[in-house]
Amino acid sequence: MANEANCKVVLAARPRGLPAPADFRLEEEPLAALAEGQVRVDVSHLSIDAFIRTTLETSAYHGSVPLGGTIVALGVGRVRESRSADLKPGEWVFGPLLAQSCATLPAALLRRIDVGRAPATAYLGALGLTTGQTAWVGVREVAKVRPGETFVVSAAAGAVGAMAGQIAKLDGARVIGIAGGPEKGHFLTGELGFDAAVDYKRDDVAEQLRAAAPDGVDVYFDNVGGPLLDVVLDQIKLRARIVICGAISQYGGEVSKGVRGPSLYLRLAERQSRMEGFAVTHFPEALPRAEAELADWLRDGKVCLPEHVVKGLDNFAGALATLFTGGHTGKLLLAV
Amino acid sequence: MANEANCKVVLAARPRGLPAPADFRLEEEPLAALAEGQVRVDVSHLSIDAFIRTTLETSAYHGSVPLGGTIVALGVGRVRESRSADLKPGEWVFGPLLAQSCATLPAALLRRIDVGRAPATAYLGALGLTTGQTAWVGVREVAKVRPGETFVVSAAAGAVGAMAGQIAKLDGARVIGIAGGPEKGHFLTGELGFDAAVDYKRDDVAEQLRAAAPDGVDVYFDNVGGPLLDVVLDQIKLRARIVICGAISQYGGEVSKGVRGPSLYLRLAERQSRMEGFAVTHFPEALPRAEAELADWLRDGKVCLPEHVVKGLDNFAGALATLFTGGHTGKLLLAV
């Protein structure tokens, strides 16, 4: 039987550094009346994304959550009630459901998903806007990887990195993943079929990269920023492309200050190279194509993305912290 | 009568920070015998360029000058003797003549210049490889400025900056120059016809830029790097292009360490923008077109570039230091 109350995660205090349990609070509220055009959705899973951390700051690009406000998150769920002609009870949807058990919001903010084509959680992972589609846009539309090129990706065992490397591989590149520890390395070269792995937790990262890419790097898909970005900048080829997808090494602390810029950025001039940032939301016209292609690949077993599922809204803080400490492999989800 | 000895500037010590007179030494040597294919050139003027500073480091992109070696510089001069069928005595040439009074080198390293089309010094300035042609390539081939765009250039009263701004203006952009002090500001808006000037020596640089470019910046042609790059990054529009031509603020010190990276580089991702470095030498196919167009503009008075001429090889250290302290306007030359 459906719950008659909504349980939500609200911001109790602005995190300093890694998000901690005390920064969040669970609250219960009665379900609001459903207005015309709105639907009520039982939230099934939330996507744990780095952008969530940035919305906890006061000045944030993705908008800032006020103290006491519900934490922003994308999710999938099932329509329970509807006052919209566009969605019917029982249908699965994707959208900004927030960190709560039951979302009441305009149907226009949601998109129906076909759980016959792929499992619902895949719409947050392999096919997801912030995961598979982000990786697809970065590889295809920004880096424009060509066959035979050397493609390096950081946070490679994470959701975006794992997908980006697999897409570049399908596009004919030689793929090197950077991740922490031998276990993740085996995941990259074993399960994902990458050509080589670099362990950033060892002291000899530059040497490992040089050994894996003796002729240099054509494309660096960067999810991490920090000192690693300089290590790769120092080994780019002529006409390299550095795709800035994120800088997760810099998000754990306070985002609005203290980001470390790449001190070797002048390699861009020396080596006729470019650094290009992107956000998936700036490529609306490419996304249906991306999703369709990713769904085909997933069905045909050409890409895979393990899911790391944390259970329960009360574990939200821990799930978010895991994203920054790298204690997971693949897509990090919260099962509501 | 031609000198029977060559007077050259050699590296006495590797500069720490700004080049100082004690880092250089004048030496005289007898003229070497002329080998087959070589020419002897009386050096007229040298181009004082930022890359010279980088060649004084031990690990330098442009190659490193050994202690006791002659300082590398581009220059113009007149052929005195020739053992090459390609060049005749009396002809004017451009090339890597080095900091010396009389250069003996293979004719193949030199290019004949037409001093009927433009004065010899213009081949180091308005038409020069490291000045006008660099600016032309950066504006046309890298930034690809479009009419109506807001174009910002740093070190705008310097040679490359002054040319870049004028070229962007001819291409229909609204041009804002960043330079130090009100005098240079007047030079930009008065003599060069820029739309606005920003004085980086004042405390309110960000506010000045916001006032001059209220809708944000489409293109930033950066010769400076350092904190100013972050100021502009914070005000870029969606789909902005940052052209990295140099980072003169970072060259005064030791180049190989301590360059400050742009801490706001994540604006590139937030605003779907790119940062692209270039070196003029990577665009060989564009250069004849660049030089021809620049020569026409110079002849027709559509561009101008004042020359700041320091006299005498014994003043080489001071001339090079001037480049970094900004004590000049326009093209800095050394008359040999």
* CA distance linking residue B35 with residue A138, whole number of Å: 55
Looking at residue B88, what is its pLDDT? 97
Quote the minimal CA–CA distance from B57 to chain A in Å.
15
pLDDT over threshold 80, residue B298 = yes
Looking at residue B16, what is its pLDDT? 86
- B34 vs A: CB within 8 A: no
Looking at A102-189, which runs of residues are DSSP E strands?
A: 102-106, 111-112, 150-153, 174-179
Quote the minimal CA–CA distance from A310 to chain B in Å.
29
Determine contact, residues A146/A237, Cβ cutoff 8 Å. Answer: no
Tell me the chain B residues in contact with residue A262 when contact means C-beta distances shorter than 8 Å.
261-262, 265
The string of pLDDT tens digits covering residues B73-127 is: 999 999 999 999 999 999 999 999 999 999 999 999 999 999 999 999 999 999 9
pLDDT level of residue A1 (50, 70, 90 thresholds): very low
pLDDT over threshold 90, residue B37 = yes
Looking at residue B253, what is its pLDDT? 47
Segment B265-270 shows an average pLDDT of 90
Segment B45-55 shows an average pLDDT of 92
Query: Between residues 243 and 302 of chain B, which touch chain A (CB distance below 8 Å)?
Result: 244-247, 250, 258-279, 282
pLDDT level of residue A54 (50, 70, 90 thresholds): confident
Looking at residue B260, what is its pLDDT? 81
Determine, for residues A277 and B276 on separate chains, whether the beta-carbon distance falls below 8 Å: no
pLDDT over threshold 50, residue B245 = yes
Residue A183 Rama label (left phi>0; alpha psi -120 to 50; beta): alpha
The string of pLDDT tens digits covering residues B127-184 is: 999 999 999 999 999 999 999 999 999 999 999 999 999 999 999 999 999 999 999 9
Which domains, and CATH codes, for chain A? 5-125+306-335 (3.90.180.10), 132-282 (3.40.50.720)
The separation between the first and the last C-alpha atoms of chain B, rounded to the nearest angstrom, is 15
Determine, for residues B244 and A277 on separate chains, whether the beta-carbon distance falls below 8 Å: no
The string of pLDDT tens digits covering residues B209-232 is: 999 999 999 999 999 888 899 999
* CA distance linking residue B62 with residue B219, whole number of Å: 27
Determine, for residues A266 and B244 on separate chains, whether the beta-carbon distance falls below 8 Å: yes
Does ipTM exceed 0.85? no
The string of pLDDT tens digits covering residues A89-135 is: 999 999 999 999 999 999 999 999 999 999 999 999 999 999 999 99
* CA distance linking residue A320 with residue A162, whole number of Å: 19
Tell me the chain A residues in contact with residue B280 when contact means C-beta distances shorter than 8 Å.
none
Determine, for residues A275 and B271 on separate chains, whether the beta-carbon distance falls below 8 Å: no
Amino acid identity, residue B77?
G
Q: What phi and psi values does residue B282 have, to the nearest 5 degrees? A: -85, 5
Quote the minimal CA–CA distance from A275 to chain B in Å.
5
Rg of chain A's alpha carbons, rounded to an integer?
20
The per-residue pLDDT of chain B, averaged, comes to 93
Tell me the chain A residues in contact with residue B271 when contact means C-beta distances shorter than 8 Å.
277
Tell me the chain B residues in contact with residue A221 when contact means C-beta distances shorter than 8 Å.
none
CA closest to A263 among chain B residues: B261
Segment B285-307 shows an average pLDDT of 95
CA closest to A51 among chain B residues: B270
Tell me the chain B residues in contact with residue A260 when contact means C-beta distances shorter than 8 Å.
261, 263
Tell me the chain B residues in contact with residue A261 when contact means C-beta distances shorter than 8 Å.
230, 260-265
- A230 vs B: CB within 8 A: yes
Tell me the chain A residues in contact with residue B268 when contact means C-beta distances shorter than 8 Å.
244, 275-277
CA closest to B63 among chain A residues: A270
The separation between the first and the last C-alpha atoms of chain A, rounded to the nearest angstrom, is 15
**Which tokens go with A239?**
């006409």
Determine contact, residues A152/A176, Cβ cutoff 8 Å. Answer: yes
Determine, for residues B277 and A267 on separate chains, whether the beta-carbon distance falls below 8 Å: yes
Determine, for residues A263 and B261 on separate chains, whether the beta-carbon distance falls below 8 Å: yes
Segment B314-320 shows an average pLDDT of 95
Looking at residue B259, what is its pLDDT? 75
The string of pLDDT tens digits covering residues B181-214 is: 999 999 999 999 999 999 999 999 999 999 999 9
Looking at residue A254, what is its pLDDT? 46
The string of pLDDT tens digits covering residues A242-272 is: 999 977 666 654 444 567 889 899 899 989 9
Determine, for residues B264 and A260 on separate chains, whether the beta-carbon distance falls below 8 Å: no
Determine, for residues B282 and A238 on separate chains, whether the beta-carbon distance falls below 8 Å: yes
Which residue of A244, A270, A271 is in closest CB contact with B269?
A244
The per-residue b/e assignment along B138-170, b for 16 or more CB within 10 angstroms, e otherwise, is bbbbbbebeeebbbbbbbbbbbbbbbbbbbbbb
pLDDT level of residue A63 (50, 70, 90 thresholds): confident
pLDDT level of residue B252 (50, 70, 90 thresholds): low
Tell me the chain B residues in contact with residue A244 when contact means C-beta distances shorter than 8 Å.
265-266, 268-269
Closest CA to B244 of A276, A154, A138, A259: A276
pLDDT level of residue A6 (50, 70, 90 thresholds): very high
- What is the sign, positive or negative, of the torsion defined by CA atoms of A276, B137, B105, B70? negative
Looking at residue B117, what is its pLDDT? 93
Give the H or E element holding residue B159.
Answer: helix B159-170
The count of C-alpha atoms lying within 13 angstroms of the C-alpha of A217, restricted to the half-sphere facing its C-beta, is: 34
Closest CA to A156 of A194, A122, A212, A124: A194
Segment B232-247 shows an average pLDDT of 93
Tell me the chain A residues in contact with residue B267 when contact means C-beta distances shorter than 8 Å.
277
A vs B, Cβ pairs < 8 A, gives 99
The string of pLDDT tens digits covering residues A280-324 is: 989 999 999 999 999 999 999 999 999 999 999 999 999 999 988
The string of pLDDT tens digits covering residues B56-79 is: 988 666 678 999 999 999 999 999
Looking at residue A128, what is its pLDDT? 95
Which of B59, B249, B268, B273 to mutate to test binding with chain A, by most A CBs within 10 Å of its CB? B268
The per-residue pLDDT of chain A, averaged, comes to 93
Interior angle at CA A162, CA A156 and CA A165, nearest 5: 90
* CA distance linking residue A117 with residue A295, whole number of Å: 7
Determine contact, residues B5/B29, Cβ cutoff 8 Å. Answer: yes
- B160 vs A: CB within 8 A: no
Segment A146-161 shows an average pLDDT of 96
pLDDT level of residue A326 (50, 70, 90 thresholds): confident
Segment A63-68 shows an average pLDDT of 90
Looking at A53-187, which runs of residues are DSSP E strands?
A: 75-82, 92-95, 102-106, 111-112, 150-153, 174-179
Tell me the chain B residues in contact with residue A271 when contact means C-beta distances shorter than 8 Å.
277
